[in-house]
Amino acid sequence: MRIKFLEFAALYVDTCAARIARLANNGNVLALSMRYTGEPLGNEIVDEWLATAPSIGPRRVEFHCKTEGLDRPYLGPSADKTNPVESAR
């Protein structure tokens, strides 16, 4: 199932995964399991995820342009959204 405006979602269990998801995948959904992380680590993951901006390096921008092009037919007319990656072009 494809959800509009959902770029990348994953279950994060450490701060490194949260940082990489924002940098490499332009992740815009944060999913946590309190069973695996607990409150202190969960707070660290949220802080790291919020502090990390999506990468605007040429390689990442090119990757996101390609994936957005592949997704566009499934998203319909509302696919022309404002995206930090698009604004870096």
Reported confidence tier of residue 41, pLDDT bands at 50, 70, 90: very high
**Which residue type, as a one-letter code, is found at position 82?**
T
The percentage of residues in the chain with a pLDDT greater than 90, rounded to a whole number, is 13
* pLDDT tens sequence across 13-23: 899 988 888 88
When pLDDT is cut at 50, 70 and 90, the band that residue 80 belongs to is: low
Domain boundaries, the chain: 9-87
pLDDT at residue 77, as a whole number: 65
- How much is the average pLDDT of 36-63? 87
Give the Cα separation of 28 and 17 in Å (integer): 13
Q: CA 71 to CA 11: how far, in whole Å?
A: 22
Q: Alpha carbon of 24 to those of 36, 53, 63, 76: distances in Å?
A: 23, 10, 9, 25
State which CATH number among 3.40.1400.10, 3.90.1150.10, 3.40.190.10, 1.10.760.10 fits the domain covering 9-87.
Answer: 3.40.1400.10
